[in-house]
Structure 1
Amino acid sequence: MKSAYLYVRVSTDEQKRKGYSLPEQEERLLKYCEYNNIEVKGIYCEDFSAKDFNRPEWKKLFLQIKNKSSIEDKNILFIKWDRFSRNVEYAYEMIGMLRKYRTTAMAIDQPIDFSVPESTVMLAVYLSVPEAENSRRAQNIANGIRRAKQMGRYPNKAPIGYINLTLLDGKKIIAPKEPEAGLVKWIFHQIAKNTQKLEEIRKIANNKGLLCSRSHFFRLIRNPVYCGHVIIRFNFEEQQTIKGTHEPLIQETLFHKVQNIITTKRKVTAKTDELKALFFLRGFLVCPICGRKLSGSFSRGKTKKYPYYHCQGSRKTRINAILLNTCYQNKLQQLVLSNKVIELFSYVLDDQDIKKQKTQYLSERSLIERKIKEEESILSKARKLFVVEIFKLDDYNKLKAENRVNSKCLQKELQDINTKLRNIERQTKLLGKKIFTDIFQGFSDFDIADKKHLITLIPPLNINFQTGYLSLSLNETLSKVLVLKSNQKIIKNEFY
């Protein structure tokens, strides 16, 4: 008695177009096996495309065949060859793999006798026709989409901020969808300000409720559909822009401004910045032998590299960069603001009216906290209505999602106000304790540009290239602002 595995496949569009169904195919295959006295070893049914063999049930069937004895002849039955595959290349590859495991694939409505050499011609026809149908269908769909775009319509899936709608006459359009549309507008306006990094804007938008991955976000800000345009692509190089019939979310001028910002060429300066940060005294050091400015580079040791300031002309002048940097920083941190400057800063802080700002921020925080409680109350009431089945599941989920977005926005506003209040508290402590007089304590955290500017104002002098000992020089103006931490005396033009 012969045996066989039954394979039943259908895709959703085929089921609608041709009336195929899984039960119908299975019933016909079972009747065929009963009539021909074939034992059914297993039935594998799936709703999946046949463009390749990356299908869940087919993988299970193929694994079953591989695990069976290689001596035993095995068969796979299906209705037609288009159930097996709609791609000639993958079909022949799979047939070859099945033969390795002594397995024969056969369509009961399109039988082929593989013992006859000429039968391979019919197999080629049976496999080619489904692929040709797919290619023709794909081409017709592409032509239809292109014609719709030429008329200014957007027939694809609506991008974030829009929703697909069908008019009474059957035409499909896209329309703005809130709150996503408002968030998309906010994104473009924030980028146009050019004050934040794109990644920071994306994270804030996500916190506001925009569900968008990083790659999708960068496609979003380059999509001209938001300024009312539709792109028609003819090939990889040729494309055309058409004025769309849908409602734009932003102005065309704003879109082009954003494109200029995000397409500005950015240099990769990570390694260069790291070297500049390490050799921040470069350009301010002079060789005592030849008078040239010192350069900076690494010297390879037994286990690692060591940074040095050195003269390219005179090989004798060299000093460890970390040692000299530390000596300069230590000297700099011995300086504090004079008492008169501290008094001036106190007047400046008083002019800012910190108490008034604090009162305003506290009022805003109280208002936001009240709104947060209201959102929690709304969600609690909605949950009770859902439990007693007054609220439907879809309505409850919609309200819950909207509540989540509003709560995130309010929490972000609350966080910003708390930050402002902490800054005011910090200013008050600084004014009371006068700890802001040590203005160079955070020198190591300064930006490289700030360090360079500071060194220009306070350059190193009289450097001992053996010990790293040095002195600092101040101009007449700075000598009135800075004093030594130890004795609080006004610093002279050249000191220690």
Structure 2
Amino acid sequence: MKKAIIYVRVSTDEQSEKGYSLQHQEDRLRQYCQQQQIDIIGFYKEDHSAKTFERPAFNELLKFLKTKRGNVDLLLFLKWDRFSRNAADAYSMISQLTKLGVEPQAIEQPLDLNIPENKIMLAFYLAAPEVENDRRSLNVIAGMRRAMKDGRHVTMAPKGYKNARNEQNRPIIVPSKDAPMVKWVFEEVAKGVLSIKEVWRTARRKGLNVGRSNIWYLLRNPIYYGKILLPAYKDEETKIISGLHEPIISEDLFYEVQDVLDGKKRNPKPKYTAREELPLRGFLQCPRCGRALTGSPSRGNGGTYFYYHCTNGCKERVKAEEVNKCFTKELARITIKDKYITLFEKAAEHYYHQNQERKSEKEVQTEIDKHLQRIKKAQQLLLDGELSAAEYKEIKSQYEPEIAQLERKRQDIEQMDANLLEYVKGTADLLRNLLRYYNNATLPVKQKLIGSIYPKKLIYEKNEFRTTEVNEVIAAIRRLGAAEEKREKEKAPETGGQSEEVIRIGSIQSL
């Protein structure tokens, strides 16, 4: 008498949509074995997709066959699509079972695999369910993309929204009871005062049930300002679609938060009244204790006098008029010769023409493509029943905000590239007339210039300034000029005025 293991499988969607039943399969297999006088020595059942053989029950079955080698003759199942819905994997598994001395057989689609012609029918039985899977996947993807193009969110609602139906009974998302708290989270982060961790803890105490890692995905998700990310697919590029749902926050607030997350927005500085007499307030460091100097007026000798001074008790105090005059001399000192500024313009123009496709843009696009591929893979696993809707939603909510942020970064790079020569021209004009610009500028413009030229605080001591560094562009041009002077002294051949000095676009733009 032959000995057999019977195997039944059904996935959740098959059971609900097609009426497959584990009990029905088991009854048919036991009846068949009784009629054919086959001894059943094992029974395995599972609710799992047949896309791959990474199935819990099947792995146990395979382990049993390896330990009972030679004691099992048949592996019986109802149809070949119960065995596998992937032709390539099925052939590999059939070969593995054959080596174990086990013949796989579908009782409703019996095939004698020793007859070569029957392999044609086997190919059909195995390919048909795989084709069905692929067609269903394409139909689902097409349907989801149509809905997304119409501005509809097609998966589980993110935190702050809930799934609902509109007048046409179509699925939509609407703000939930958590929406005000989600808005509060964005507003607090945008202020740049509390850390993300502190905002998250406070939100949790106020009742917003969101995990520590998920708070980052929430803050990156464009769904909250009314947009839907449509991933790239085949020849279609990634797009940001205006959603039909109600936004919880404004677009401006969303991008303020992105700046905070990217470190572009610093914590607000203490407020003080701007004074024309104190343009360097906030940019000076105490030479005694290292703390920032402030400034204030002082009455005496029949008039009002302004001073920069320390508040740390070290009694550092200098006349503002004296410091301001010395600063204009400092600007004159760092003024660059016109010929070197012209050299910088030529070098930047040469760099622009040689680097139309920037490496950084390619790197960003590569990251976008990676994230899109991850979402696509998760979507396929969802369709195959190997991921739950909640797991798919978590993966999707993780990567969609990152994709939107990367798209914004890529667009920024493209815009900077397009405007590079304009930035260079403006920077060159500013550097040629730096002292005149500063002297004629309003107080806000003066302070912007100071902050742009000196990324770190200045130290005033003994009637002169000292600082550790200046703006990268100025430093690069000065190095370029020094190299040119050295070449001139050595009487080296002309190089056309082009330098290998690489200057970041952001540093040009900052001036």
The two structures have a TM-score, normalised by structure 2, of 0.50
- Give, in angstroms, the shift of residue 169 of structure 1: 3.5
Q: Secondary structure at the match of 1:221?
A: helix
Match of 2:184 in 1: 186
Match of 2:159 in 1: 160
- Give, in angstroms, the shift of residue 19 of structure 1: 1.2
- Give, in angstroms, the shift of residue 251 of structure 1: 1.1
Q: How does 1:80-159 map to 2 (within 5 A)?
A: 80-159=79-158
Q: How many Å separate the matches in 1 of 2:313 and 2:14?
A: 81
Aligned partners of 1:65 and 1:74 also within 8 Å = no
Q: How many Å separate the matches in 1 of 2:103 and 2:212?
A: 47
Aligned residues: 276
Match of 1:295 in 2: none
Paired letter, 1:118: E
Structure 1 pair 143/190, CA: closer, same or farther in 2 (3 Å)?
A: same
Aligned partners of 2:65 and 2:72 also within 8 Å = no
Paired letter, 2:71: E
The answer to whether 1:226 aligns with 2:245 is no
Structure 1 pair 214/120, CA: closer, same or farther in 2 (3 Å)?
A: farther
Aligned partners of 1:51 and 1:85 also within 8 Å = yes
- Give, in angstroms, the shift of residue 197 of structure 1: 2.8
Paired letter, 2:39: E
2:233 to 224, 232, 235: 235
- Give, in angstroms, the shift of residue 114 of structure 1: 1.5
Paired letter, 2:173: I
Match of 2:198 in 1: 200
Match of 2:304 in 1: none
- Give, in angstroms, the shift of residue 90 of structure 1: 2.4
Structure 1 pair 62/220, CA: closer, same or farther in 2 (3 Å)?
A: same
Deviations 1:175-213 (A, max 9, x none): 1111x3222112211121112333333343344443333
Deviations 1:319-349 (A, max 9, x none): xxxxxxxxxxxxxxxxx979xxxxxxxxxxx
Aligned partners of 1:74 and 1:102 also within 8 Å = yes
RCO higher in structure (CA 8 A, sep ≥6): 2
Structure 1 pair 231/76, CA: closer, same or farther in 2 (3 Å)?
A: same
Aligned partners of 1:8 and 1:22 also within 8 Å = yes
Q: Secondary structure at the match of 1:257?
A: helix
Q: How many Å separate the matches in 2 of 1:15 and 1:134?
A: 15
Structure 1: 5+ residue stretches without partners? 267-282, 285-335, 339-451, 458-496
Match of 1:59 in 2: 59
Structure 1 pair 35/248, CA: closer, same or farther in 2 (3 Å)?
A: same
Q: How does 1:15-414 map to 2 (within 5 A)?
A: 15-68=15-68, 70-167=69-166, 169-178=168-177, 180-235=178-233, 238-264=237-263
Q: How many Å separate the matches in 2 of 1:51 and 1:246?
A: 35
- Give, in angstroms, the shift of residue 227 of structure 1: 0.7
Q: Secondary structure at the match of 2:220?
A: coil
Structure 1 pair 337/13, CA: closer, same or farther in 2 (3 Å)?
A: closer
Q: How many Å separate the matches in 2 of 1:264 and 1:67?
A: 59
The two structures have a TM-score, normalised by structure 1, of 0.51
Deviations 1:430-449 (A, max 9, x none): xxxxxxxxxxxxxxxxxxxx
Paired letter, 2:238: Q
Structure 1 pair 149/99, CA: closer, same or farther in 2 (3 Å)?
A: same
Structure 1 pair 183/88, CA: closer, same or farther in 2 (3 Å)?
A: farther
- Give, in angstroms, the shift of residue 119 of structure 1: 2.4
Paired letter, 1:212: V
- Give, in angstroms, the shift of residue 97 of structure 1: 2.5
Q: How many Å separate the matches in 2 of 1:261 and 1:76?
A: 60
Structure 1 pair 146/42, CA: closer, same or farther in 2 (3 Å)?
A: same
Deviations 1:432-480 (A, max 9, x none): xxxxxxxxxxxxxxxxxxxx99x999xxxxxxxxxxxxxxxxxxxxxxx
Q: How many Å separate the matches in 2 of 1:131 and 1:120?
A: 17
Q: How many Å separate the matches in 2 of 1:46 and 1:168?
A: 40
Q: Secondary structure at the match of 1:41?
A: strand
Q: How many Å separate the matches in 1 of 2:209 and 2:60?
A: 35
Deviations 1:21-78 (A, max 9, x none): 111111111111111111111221222111222222222212211211x233432111
Q: Secondary structure at the match of 1:129?
A: helix
Match of 2:12 in 1: 12
Q: Secondary structure at the match of 2:45?
A: strand
Q: Percent identity among equivalent residues?
A: 45
Structure 1 pair 126/337, CA: closer, same or farther in 2 (3 Å)?
A: same
Q: How many Å separate the matches in 1 of 2:121 and 2:212?
A: 50
Q: How many Å separate the matches in 1 of 2:58 and 2:40?
A: 16
Q: How many Å separate the matches in 2 of 1:35 and 1:9?
A: 22
Q: Secondary structure at the match of 1:153?
A: coil
Q: How does 1:447-462 map to 2 (within 5 A)?
A: none
- Give, in angstroms, the shift of residue 4 of structure 1: 0.9
Structure 1 pair 104/151, CA: closer, same or farther in 2 (3 Å)?
A: same
Q: How many Å separate the matches in 1 of 2:173 and 2:9?
A: 34
Structure 1 pair 110/158, CA: closer, same or farther in 2 (3 Å)?
A: same
Aligned partners of 2:5 and 2:72 also within 8 Å = no
Q: Secondary structure at the match of 1:90?
A: helix
Paired letter, 1:163: K
Q: How many Å separate the matches in 1 of 2:73 and 2:201?
A: 56
Q: Secondary structure at the match of 2:155?
A: coil
Q: Secondary structure at the match of 2:240?
A: strand
Q: How many Å separate the matches in 1 of 2:106 and 2:212?
A: 46
Aligned partners of 2:4 and 2:72 also within 8 Å = no
Deviations 1:343-367 (A, max 9, x none): xxxxxxxxxxxxxxxxxxxxxxxxx
Deviations 1:364-401 (A, max 9, x none): xxxxxxxxxxxxxxxxxxxxxxxxxxxxxxxxxxxxxx
Paired letter, 2:40: V
- Give, in angstroms, the shift of residue 143 of structure 1: 0.8
Match of 1:408 in 2: none
Q: How many Å separate the matches in 2 of 1:85 and 1:207?
A: 49
Q: How many Å separate the matches in 2 of 1:21 and 1:148?
A: 33
Aligned partners of 2:230 and 2:239 also within 8 Å = yes
Aligned partners of 1:5 and 1:41 also within 8 Å = yes
Match of 1:475 in 2: none
Deviations 1:259-314 (A, max 9, x none): 23323479xxxxxxxxxxxxxxxx99xxxxxxxxxxxxxxxxxxxxxxxxxxxxxx
Q: Secondary structure at the match of 1:191?
A: helix
Structure 1 pair 209/53, CA: closer, same or farther in 2 (3 Å)?
A: farther
